Structure 1
Amino acid sequence: MEKTIFITGASTGLGKATAKLFQSKGWNVIATMRNPAKETELNTLENVTLLPLDVTNPEQIRATVKTAIETHNIDVVFNNAGYGLIGALEAFSDEQLIKQIDTNLLGVIRVTQAFIPYFREKKNGLFITTTSIGGLLTFPLDSIYHATKWALEGWSESMSYELGLHNIGIKTIAPGGIKTNFAGPSLDVARHPAYEQGLTKLFDLMNPDNFEPAEWIADVVYEAATDDKKQLRYVAGEFANQLYSRRLEIGAEAAVKEMNKTVFGELVD
């Protein structure tokens, strides 16, 4: 029996890689993005449907979800739309703060909320959300990004209780850096002279050589969608697993001190 996955943020990076992978595995794919007319690859693939979706637009979410469930029997919703905002808090504009929270957090919540009645009625379904290793540990100068990703981890855990009543699953994928997104449209940097030295060190730490191709992380999404496990969190990629294992090994307090020293060096005791 053919299955269908609904993907947000499918125009680039992990979203596109996931769409291609599931399509190659025989799934129907509903790939959503803000500007489907600009897509030149996914629209050539069999059993891939492109739909417009800006996750900061509640009205469009409702309309797109309605169209999707009227034309396909959807099994998995992959909440993937999001981006990174880096910099000191005092460097951010209010517009940046709102955009980060609206996209990374509220967008996921809105899309999920729109699908719950459908999954509840058929007593089956699975939500998968891209969080980040930044939802399980922190870097300096990433506070608002972390606020959204930690929120998604806690929200997903809490949602597992109520969704479980109706045989609906929820899982998170926590990758480290993904090569195709680094320093691209999925990264917004706010600069302030008082923090420039630390920002430079942070970018050194976030070396793209440590990051995994989007296709590797897409494999983890496919695993989560098909393994039938009651597993909430999937830490994805070697870089993310190294960071998370180190935090578990030495404890959260020591990990914070170690990270502080790594990024700010002689600026801290």
Structure 2
Amino acid sequence: MTQTVLITGCSTGFGEASARHFAERGWNVVATMRDPAAGRTLAQHRNILVTRLDVQDRDSITAAVALTLDRFGRIDALVNNAGFGLAGVFEETPRAKMIEQFDVNVFGLMDVTRAVLPTMRQQRRGTIVNISSGAGIIGLPMIALYTASKFAVEGFSESLSYELETVGIRVRIVEPGGVNTNFNTRMDAETRYAEPIADYEPFRSGAERLYDGLRANQAHADVAQVAESIYNATVDSSDRLRWLATEEVKPLAHARRETNEEAYMDTMRGYFRFPEPE
């Protein structure tokens, strides 16, 4: 029986690459996005159905799940990929942006998950893959709200895994590091919303230089590599929960998970040491 996967956020980046990766391996793929017009190229693939799903619009979630079941009769896997990142100083961030960050990255992911669970429970099988980030492993400067949202995804996914394994459903967390996608462009665009506070200027300048250097060093990171990790996490039959998807995140994951707190903080402050206040 051909398996079916529903993937959110497929207009670009990890979602688009994952849709192609699954389809090329014979899966039925429901590639969802806020504007289906952005998926015209994907829709040309015979295994891919493109439809609208906006994680902030619960009616669109319900409709996408119903269309999937009507067309294919089952949902074997869900890849919760849709998300965006806020970058900037926390104090400068309007409350509306704080809410939007969690509405998309956390509550939207939860709403889509809730929508597929009745079908997966009835099947007594299914896999939910939640796309986290290196920022879900470690706290990072200038992206406090994005980091907080990914920490929430990590905690939710781990807790949920214990509930769902009792009904035959597996949960996976995929943790990419820095990869050049349109996600980064959106993150940059989302910073242009507040008047800067002068007291933070030395920190801001230092952090921006640091991230510019990181982006330059990660220019060859491969979106296809992340798509392969997502696919491997989906089809793996073990109890493994977390999948590190890119090489550059592994040293930081090691520092966080395999050393003590003092060693971890020494490592992090070595990366992120900024000017002291005058």
Q: TM-score range by the shorter chain?
A: over 0.9
**3-state secondary structure, aligned to 1:5:** strand
Q: Is the contact between residue 88 and residue 141 of structure 1 (CA under 8 Å) also seen in structure 2?
A: yes
Matched with 2:269 is: 260
Q: Give the structure 2 partner of residue 219 of structure 1.
A: 228
Shift of 1:186: 4.7
Tell me, in whole angstroms, the C-alpha distance in 2 between the residues paired with 1:2 and 1:133. Answer: 33
Do the aligned partners of 2:10 and 2:39 also contact (CA within 8 Å) in 1? no
**Count of equivalent residues:** 269
| Alpha-carbon distance in 2 for matches of 1:59, 1:24 | 30
Percent sequence identity over aligned pairs: 34
Aligned match of 1:160: 161
Q: What amino acid is aligned across from residue 222 of structure 1 in structure 2?
A: Y
Q: Deviations over 1:125-149 (max 9, x none)?
A: 1100101111111111221111110
Amino acid at match of 2:43: N
Partner of 1:232: 241
Structure 1 window deviating more from structure 2 (64-73 vs 144-153): it is: 64-73
Partner residue in 2 for 1:25? 25
CA change 1:252–1:40 in 2 (3 A) is farther
Q: Which amino acid aligns with 2:227?
A: A
Aligned match for 1:201, one of 203, 209, 228: 209
Q: Is the 8 A contact 1:88 1:142 kept in 2?
A: yes
Asked if the contact 2:87/2:187 (under 8 Å) is kept, the reply is no
CA contact (8 A) 2:85 2:186 kept: no
Secondary structure of 1:265's partner? Answer: coil
1:143: which partner in 2?
144
- For 1:199 and 1:257, the matched residues in 2 are separated by 18
**Cα 1:123–1:29 shift into 2, 3 Å:** same
Pairing partner for 1:245 from 244, 254, 257: 254
Counting only pairs closer than 5 Å after superposition, residues 171-186 of structure 1 correspond to structure 2 as: 171-181=172-182, 183-186=184-187
Contact 1:177–1:208 under 8 Å retained in 2: no
Runs of 5+ consecutive residues of structure 2 not aligned to the other structure: none
- Equivalent position SS for 2:32: strand
Deviation of the 1:21 alpha carbon? 0.7
Structure 1-normalised TM-score? Answer: 0.93
8 Å Cα contact 1:4/1:74 also seen in 2:
yes
- Which residues of structure 1 form unaligned runs of 5+? none
Which residue of the partner structure matches residue 87 of structure 2?
A: 86
CA displacement at 1:113 relative to structure 2: 0.5
Structure 1 outlier segments of 4+, above 6 Å: none
- Following superposition, the deviation at residue 264 of structure 1 comes to 3.5
Cα deviation, residue 199, structure 1: 2.8
The SS at the match of 1:176 is coil
For 1:257 and 1:56, locate their aligned partners in 2 and report how far apart those are by CA, in whole Å. Answer: 39
Contact 1:62 1:114 in 2 (8 A): yes
2:2/2:28 contact within 8 Å kept: yes
Larger mean CA deviation between 211-220 and 243-252 belongs to 243-252
Cα separation, 1, equivalents of 2:216 and 2:10: 21
- Using a 3 Å threshold, how does the CA distance of structure 1 residues 213 and 24 change in structure 2: closer, same or farther? same
Structure 1 residues 189 and 9, CA gap change in structure 2 (3 angstroms): same
CA distance in 2, matches of 1:189, 1:260: 24
What do residues 228-259 of structure 1 show as CA deviations (whole Å, max 9, x unaligned)? Answer: 11111111110111221233454344333443
Structure 1 residue 205, shift from structure 2 partner: 4.8
Counterpart of 1:189?
191
| Equivalent position of 1:169 in the other structure | 170
Deviations 1:60-109 (A, max 9, x none): 21222122122222110000000111111111112211111000001110
Confirm or deny: 8 A CA contact 2:84 2:183 kept in the other structure: no
- The amino acid of 1:203's aligned partner reads Y
Larger mean Cα displacement after TM superposition, 225-234 or 8-17: 225-234
Structure 1 SS opposite 2:119? helix
Q: How does 1:124-143 map to 2 (within 5 A)?
A: 124-143=125-144
Moved more, 51-60 or 258-267: 258-267
TM-score by length of 2: 0.90
